[in-house]
Amino acid sequence: MGPLSTTAFLISAVAKVLVIFVGWLTVVAGVTLAERKIAAWIQDRSGPNRVGPWGILQPIADGIKNFAKEEHIPGGASRWLFFLAPIISMFPAFVVIAVIPVAAPLPTPWGLVEVIVADLPIGFLFVLALASLGVYGLTLGGWASNSKYSFLGGVRASAQMISYEVALGLSLVPIFMLAGNVTLPEIVRQQQDALWYILPLMVGFLFFSVSYFAETNRGPFDMPEAESELVYGFHTEYSAMRMAMFYLAEYANMVTASALMATFFFGGWDIPFWAGDNISVATDGSIIGATPAWWVTLLTFASFAAKTGFFILVFIWVRWTIPRFRYDQVMALGWKVLIPMLVVYIAVLGGAMLALEATGIEFGVRYGLWLAGINLVLLLLIMFWLDRSRIVLGGAWKQARPQQARSRG
């Protein structure tokens, strides 16, 4: 099966943009309902159950309501920036999905179509660059509102997101060291050939997850919109559809973060323990690995959707389980814990990889298992250092360490 012709390539590109982005918007709308349902289940209440069977049409009703509501603009607001801020906050969340492969290549009569909008050679560098733009929407929204509470929320957002962008970027360095490539389809292919990166890079996954929780402003890191302190944070003065756009951006970021976790550490669309989906396309259009089929594409898409859905569930579960941190705790975690530990982790991982290569162990399952063992030891050390006997001893840690307990009030 040869490469696509120019006409077929353009048609497939337009089709992929429409299908993937419309599907992504539908998923984001569905996640808003899923969060309300899961939150209701956690809190032992019904949740949305009036609009449609089991409340499944609630996102449509919310959309109609937001479009019909009156738009309020503060008298002293900077009008153009006030309008622009929600758009800026939404743009990065919906563009990052373009570089994420969501399924195995699809065979068509005109050639093999890769199920990714744009297979960019800069890969996750594009992800980092686009993700960093989201802070501008939040900061501009707070500043343009001409409100002290909104402005404080915008300042918090800028400080928090810039701080955790550093940790987020450092948490991706181990992936580049192991894969030797920054394109996401290549990262998925290497996980198919050896091990999912969750095993050899489990510490990196921990740091990546915490950093992305803070980047998406999800609880317990939702300091920019802390209603108990800032009324409603950076979007206090927003109403109707403009306020809904901020929420859509938050949920889109959550879905994108879940997709990236699945892609970077859990093999993307790879189905475990099956070689029938080990399909890749060479630069000349030739097929490497198993024979492509439409049902294989559907199965791999279902695998990717299941992994992404699991991490969406984790995001929701954490928000409704763990109370919000204090602002000083959030900043201390980013600058005093994550960044120093990531620098040490990268150095240790690099030394381990050099040692493995010096002993003649090539990249593969054995190589990954050695790194998994090293990561497990590091993870245990990190957990016990962060815990400092609080969880291990439970409430007895105050009796075991009375001086430390008194210093912490």
Average pLDDT over residues 87-95: 84
At 282, is the secondary structure helix, strand, or coil?
Answer: coil
- Give the pLDDT confidence score for residue 304 in this predicted structure: 93
- Give the pLDDT confidence score for residue 363 in this predicted structure: 80
- Give the pLDDT confidence score for residue 391 in this predicted structure: 46
Average pLDDT over residues 60-80: 82
Q: Show Cβ contacts of residue 74 under 8 Å, excluding neighbours closer than 6 positions.
A: 82, 145, 146, 147, 237
At 107, is the secondary structure helix, strand, or coil?
Answer: strand
DSSP 185-249: HHHHHHHHHS--TTTTTHHHHHHHHHHHHHHTT-TTS-GGG-HHHHTTGGGTT--HHHHHHHHHH
- Asked if 288 contacts 282 with a C-beta cutoff of 8 angstroms, the reply is yes
- Asked if 116 contacts 100 with a C-beta cutoff of 8 angstroms, the reply is yes
pLDDT-derived band at 404 (thresholds 50, 70, 90) equals: low
- As beta bridge partners, residue 113 has 106
Q: Give the CA diameter of the chain.
A: 74
pLDDT-derived band at 227 (thresholds 50, 70, 90) equals: low
Average pLDDT over residues 222-238: 68
Q: What is the pLDDT of residues 301-339, one digit of tens each?
A: 999 999 999 999 999 998 888 888 887 888 888 888 889
Q: Which helix (H) or strand (E) element contains residue 281?
A: strand 279-281
315, two tokens: 């995001």
Nearest to 266 by CA among 205, 177, 317, 214: 205
Is the model's pLDDT at 398 over the cut of 80?
no
- Give the pLDDT confidence score for residue 301 in this predicted structure: 92
Average pLDDT over residues 83-91: 85
Average pLDDT over residues 92-99: 84
Q: What whole-number percentage of the chain has pLDDT above 70?
A: 89
Reported pTM? 0.87
- Asked if 289 contacts 102 with a C-beta cutoff of 8 angstroms, the reply is no
Is the model's pLDDT at 49 over the cut of 60?
yes
Is the model's pLDDT at 401 over the cut of 80?
no
Alpha-carbon 402 to chain mean position: 40
Q: What is the pLDDT of residues 153-196, one digit of tens each?
A: 888 888 888 888 888 889 989 998 888 888 888 899 888 888 89
Is the model's pLDDT at 284 over the cut of 70?
no
Q: Tell me what the pLDDT averaged over the chain comes to.
A: 82
134, two tokens: 């989201």
Residue spans per domain, the chain = 71-269+292-407
Is the model's pLDDT at 393 over the cut of 50?
no
d(CA 172, CA 161): 16
